[in-house]
């Protein structure tokens, strides 16, 4: 594995910070709040690629062990092992999958949208399962509370993340260099 440059570290830190900021935009709708974390997790994958996006999520999750950066200002290992911890843990494979799909071939809007939607899969698999196990809920209740109510909002976040990523990598818009990121 190649070493990280100062530029790589800075980009990872920016996305870890954005994930933390997104956790403070919270709409409580049940045991799992709606936040902007998923938007930034997916965007990190599309912009940083799988390796650096995974690093940024890892930094965010580690920071949450000692600083109040989880949803609603929560912190600590208890959050990771609590009812909503599965969603947080799922951010690691989510950003990796989004980055892997986005960086396979072209970075067209369609490819980026596909990568964002693919990135939702581990969140939807692990989050409700963990909620049922740790929250003392039936699988049906966890699916209703932790999946069904989030799908429309998360699909909107995925679409917006794809649009932002596409606007940043589209050479015709000239917003960022189009170099391929790790």
Mean pLDDT of successive 10-residue stretches along the chain, which has 182 residues: 87 97 91 93 97 98 97 94 95 98 90 97 96 92 89 96 92 55 46
The CATH architecture annotation of domain 6-169 reads: Orthogonal Bundle (1.10)
Q: Which two tokens stand for residue 29?
A: 């709708």
Residues 6+ positions from 177 with CB-CB distance below 8 Å: none
Residue 30 is predicted with a pLDDT of 81
Residue 175 is predicted with a pLDDT of 53
**Cβ count near 12 (within 10 Å):** 23
Residue 176 is predicted with a pLDDT of 55
pTM value is: 0.91
Rg (CA), the chain: 16
């Amino acid at each position: 594995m190649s070493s990280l440059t100062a530029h790589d570290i800075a980009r990872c830190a920016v996305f870890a910070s954005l994930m933390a900021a997104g956790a403070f935009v919270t709409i409580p709708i049940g045991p799992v709040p709606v936040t902007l974390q998923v938007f930034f997790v997916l965007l990190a994958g599309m912009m940083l690629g799988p390796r650096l996006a995974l690093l940024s999520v890892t930094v965010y999750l580690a920071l949450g062990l000692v600083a109040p950066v989880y949803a609603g200002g929560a912190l600590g290992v208890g959050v990771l092992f609590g009812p909503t911890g599965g969603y947080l843990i799922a951010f690691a494979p989510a950003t990796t999958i989004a980055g892997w799909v986005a960086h396979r071939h072209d970075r067209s809007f369609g490819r980026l949208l596909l990568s964002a939607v693919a990135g939702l899969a581990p969140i939807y698999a692990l989050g409700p399962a963990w909620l049922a196990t740790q929250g003392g809920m039936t699988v049906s209740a966890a699916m209703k509370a932790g999946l069904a109510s989030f799908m429309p909002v998360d699909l909107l976040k995925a679409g917006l993340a794809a649009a932002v990523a596409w606007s940043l990598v589209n050479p015709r818009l000239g917003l960022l260099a189009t170099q391929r990121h790790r």
